[in-house]
Chain A
Amino acid sequence: MLSIKELNQFYGESHTLWDVSVDISQGSCICLMGRNGVGKTTLLQSIMGLLPIKSGSIEFNGTTISGKAAEVRAKLGIGYVPQGRDIFGQLTVEENLRVGLSVTGRHTRAIPEQIFELFPVLKDMLHRRGGDLSGGQQQQLAIGRALTLNPKILLLDEPTEGIQPNIVQQIGDIIIKLNEEQNITILLVEQKLPFARRVGKNFVIMDRGRNVAQGEMSDLSDKLVQQYLTV
C-alpha cells in the first residue's frame, strides 16, 4: 500500500537518504532498524511529508503523495508517532486527542472509547496538560492521538523509548492488536531487538542512509545484526 522508490533526501548540502526503496504491503508490520543516525527518523519524516525530498517517489494506495502536504497525507490515512512524542504541551490530554478529530469534521463527537481501552491512563488524566505528563504517559498519548485519525498505516518512531517495561509490553500487544485486529499497517522504528522480534513480521535495515537488508523477521540473522546493528 505504501511504496517508496529511489528516495533521496538532503539536509542542506548533506545527503542523508540514498536511493531508499521500501515496499510495504497492506496489513504488514515492518520493523525498521539501524544504528543511530542512519536516517530512520528522516525516512519517516519524509514519508509523512515533514521534510522535503530531493528525488524519488512515495506512493500510497496507488496515488503519488510525494508532492502533497503533510496534512493531506495525514488525512489520507497515515498516522505518525514521532520520536520524542511531540505532545501539544499546553493542550489538555483531551484537546490533544481532539486535534485529530477536528480535522475530520468529527470534532464535536466523543473521543473513541477504544483509545481509552488501550490507554486507561489517558482517561484519568483527561484534563491534565499534555506537557505535564511523564514521558511514558506522553508516549501513550502520542499513539492515542495518532489513532484518532483512523489511520490505515501507522508510523511509529521508537515508541518504547523511555517507557516502563509493562507498558512496553502493552504497547507491543497493542501494536500487534492494531495490526491484526484492525488491520492497520505498521511501520515501526525500533532499536530493541527483542521487542522488534516480537512485534514485527518483517524487517528493514538501514545503514548510512541506505536500505541494506530486508526480509521476514525470522530471517533476521545474527550476522545481519552483527553487521548493521552493532557498533
Chain B
Amino acid sequence: MARQPFIVDFLKNDKGGKIFVSILLVTMFVVPALNLLVPADSFFHVPTYTVTLLGKYLSYAMLAIALDLVWGYCGILSLGHAAFFALGGYAMGMYLMRQIGDRGVYGNTELPDFMVFLNWTELPWYWQGFDMFWFAMIMVILVPGLLALVFGWLAFRARVTGVYLSIITQALTYALLLAFFMNELGFGGNNGLTDFKDILGYDLQADTTRVSLFFLSALFLILTYFLCRFIITSKLGRVVVAIRDAEDRTRFIGYKVESFKLWIFVLSAMIAGVAGALFVPQVGIINPGEFSPLNSIELVVWVAIGGRATLYGAALGAVIVNYSKSYLTAAFPEVWLFALGGLFLLVTIFMPKGVIGLWNQMRLKLQGKKQPIAENKIE
C-alpha cells in the first residue's frame, strides 16, 4: 500500500481541507466581484470596508496556521509567534515607508517623517534597500526566518522544552516589543510606521488595490494550507508528530530531533512573516504593539478555539475570534470582554478539541466509529 501523491490524497482524504479551500476559492473571486462590479447602492455590494476586514482576517488565519504547524503538530508552544508576524509586517512597512518618498509631511526625499522629526540626518544602514520591492519581500521571509533560526538553534540544541520554551519565546517577543518601542532603534518607536501611500505604484487607498490585497491574502492562505498539508501528510509530518508525543523515543530510532524542530519552526516563522506582510498594507499601520506577548497568547487561543492540529481549524479559529471581536466591540462596546472571555471559557469546557473537534466528534458519532480515549498530551 504505497502512499498516494499529495494531490490525490488531498482530494480523497481531506474532506475538511476541501471545504476550506473551496470556501476560500469562492470568496476569493466573489468578494472582489461584488465589490468592484456591483454598484455601491445595490444590496449585493460588498463595501471596501468589509473587503479589507476580510483581508485582515485572512492574514490572521495564515498566522494561525503557522502556529498550528509548530504547536499542533510539533508540540512547540510558541508564545512569541506574533514577533515573527510583526517582523514580516515591519519589513513590509519599511518598504511602504520608502515608497512615500517626498510626500511625507516634511517633504524630505531621503528620510521618513519620524526621522526628520527626531533630527536624524541620514538613513540608517538597515533601512537601505527597502525601497526595492523584491528586497523587502526577501526580508519579509528572511528576517523572521533568521531570527527563528538563531533562536531555535539555541533553544532546541539545548533541549529547552515545554513551558520553558514557551516562556523564553515570550521573553523574545517581549524584548523585541521593548526594543521597538525605543525611538533610538529607528523604527518609529511607539508610533510605528504609518501613513503609507502606495505599493508597487498602486494607490493603497484605491478599491482595486484593496481588493487585490484581499485576493492575494486568500491566495497565500490557500498556498500556505497546501504547503502545510503537504508537510504534515509527508513522512516528515509523522516524525514531527512523533516528536510531539515521544521526543526521546524519536531520537532513539535515529532522528535528529533538533533539526526537525528547527526546520519546522523556521518555516512557521517565515509563514508568519508573510502573513505580517499581507496584514500591514491592509490595516495601514505597524507598531510595536504587534509584538505584545498578549497578542501571541491570543493567537494560541485562536488556534485552540478552532481546533489544534487541524490547520483549517486554526484558520477558522482566527476568523471566529476576530470576527467576534469586530462585531462585539461595535455592538457591545462596554461589556464585550465578558462575551469574549465567556466564549473562551465555553469553548474550553465544552469543546475540548475546538470547533473542528466538536464537528469531528459529531461526525464520528454518526458513523459510530470507535475512538481512543487516550490523552493527546501535547505540550
**A and B in direct contact, judged by CB atoms within 8 A:** yes
* A interface residues, Cβ below 8 angstroms from B: 11-14
- The minimal Cβ–Cβ distance linking A74 to chain B, given in whole angstroms, is 23
Query: Chain B 363-379 against A: per-residue CB contact (8 Å), 1 yes, 0 no?
Result: 00000111111000000
Residues of A within 8 A of B371 (CB): 12-13
Closest 10 CB pairs of A and B: A13-B370, A14-B370, A11-B373, A12-B371, A12-B373, A13-B371, A12-B370, A12-B372, A13-B369, A13-B368
What's the Cα separation between A12 and B371 when bound, in Å?
6
- Assembly CA distance A14 to B370 (angstroms): 6
Interface size class of B (residues with CB under 8 A): under 10
Interface residues of B in 316-352 (CB under 8 A from A): none
Identify the closest chain A residue to B371 (Cβ): A12
- Chain A: minimal CB distance from B162 (Å): 15
Residues of B within 8 A of A11 (CB): 372-373
- Please give me the residue from chain B that is nearest to A10 by CB atom: B373
B372 to chain A: which residues have CB within 8 Å? 11-12
Report the minimum CB–CB distance from B242 to chain A (whole Å).
22
In the assembled complex, how far is the CB of residue B365 from the closest CB belonging to chain A, in whole angstroms?
Answer: 8
CA distance A11 to B374 in the complex (A): 9
- Bound Cα distance from A147 to B369, whole angstroms: 42
Tell me which residues across on chain A come within 8 A of B369, comparing CB atoms. Answer: 13
Q: Tell me which residues across on chain A come within 8 A of B368, comparing CB atoms.
A: 13
Shortest Cβ distance from residue B248 to the other chain A in the assembled complex, whole angstroms? 15
CA distance A12 to B369 in the complex (A): 10
Report the bound CA distance from A13 to B368 in whole Å: 8
Distance A23 CA – B371 CA, assembled complex (angstroms): 32
CB nearest neighbor in B for A14:
B370
CA distance A11 to B368 in the complex (A): 13
> For A12, what are the chain B residues with a Cβ–Cβ distance below 8 Å?
370-373
Which of the listed residues A11, A13, A14 has the most CB atoms from chain B within 10 Å of its own CB?
Answer: A13
Q: With the chains together, A47 CA to B344 CA distance in Å?
A: 36
B356 to chain A, nearest CB (A): 18
Q: How far is the CB of A86 from chain B (nearest CB, A)?
A: 15
Q: How far is the CB of A64 from chain B (nearest CB, A)?
A: 25
Query: Which A residues lie within 8 Å of B373 (CB)?
Result: 11-12
User: What's the minimum C-beta distance from B26 to chain A, rounded to whole angstroms?
Assistant: 36
| 11 pairs of residues in contact across A and B, judged by CB atoms under 8 Å | A11-B372, A11-B373, A12-B370, A12-B371, A12-B372, A12-B373, A13-B368, A13-B369, A13-B370, A13-B371, A14-B370
Report B-chain residues with C-beta under 8 Å of the C-beta of A14.
370
Closest to A11 in B: B373
Query: Among residues 166 to 189 in chain B, which have CB atoms less than 8 Å away from a CB atom of chain A?
Result: none
Kindly list 8 other residue pairs between chains A and B, CB separation below 8 angstroms, not including A11-B372, A13-B369, A13-B371.
A11-B373, A12-B370, A12-B371, A12-B372, A12-B373, A13-B368, A13-B370, A14-B370
How far is B370's CA from A13's CA once the two chains are assembled, in angstroms? 5
In the assembled complex, which residues on chain B have CB atoms less than 8 Å from the CB atom of A13?
Answer: 368-371
B205–chain A nearest beta-carbon distance, Å? 55
Query: Chain B's nearest CB lies how many Å from the CB of A21?
Result: 24
A13 to B371, CA, bound (A): 6
Instruction: Give complex CA distance A116, B105 in Å.
Output: 85
Residue in B closest to A15 when the chains form the complex, CB atoms: B370
Q: Which residue of A is nearest B365, CB measured? A: A13
Tell me the complex Cα distance, A12–B373, Å. 6
A20 to chain B, nearest CB (A): 19
- Docked complex Cα distance between A154 and B131 (Å): 77
> Whole-angstrom distance between the alpha carbons of A36 and B275 in the complex?
51
Cα separation A2 to B182 with both chains bound (whole Å):
72
